Amino acid sequence: GLGILDNVKALHKTGKFTDGQLVSQKSDSTKDIRGDKITWIEGREPGCEKIRFLMSRMDDLVRHCNGKLGNYTINGRTKAMVACYPGNGTGYVRHVDNPNGDGRCVTCIYYLNKDWTAKEHGGLLRIFPEGKAQFADIEPRFDRLLLFWSDRRNPHEVQPAFATRYAITVWYFDADERARAKEK
What's the pLDDT score for residue 7?
96
| Cα angle value 54/55/58 (rounded, 5°) | 90
Between strands 37-41 and 90-95, the pairing is unpaired
pLDDT attached to residue 67? 79
* Banded pLDDT at 157 (limits 50, 70, 90): very high
> What is the reported pTM?
0.92
The model's confidence at residue 21, banded by pLDDT at 50, 70 and 90, is confident
Percentage of the chain lying above the pLDDT 70 cut: 94
**pLDDT tens readout for residues 49-58:** 999 999 999 9
Question: Which backbone phi and psi does 28 adopt, to 5 degrees?
Answer: -70, -30
Strand-pairing partners, residue 37, are 19, 84
Q: Is a pLDDT exceeding 80 seen at residue 25?
A: no
CATH ID of 2-21+35-183, from 3.20.20.80, 2.60.120.620, 3.40.50.980, 3.40.50.300: 2.60.120.620
Indicate whether 23 pLDDT > 60: no
Mapping DSSP onto H, E and C, the string for 49-103 reads HHHHHHHHHHHHHHHHHCCCCCCCCEEEECCEEEEEECCCCEEEEEECCCCCCCC
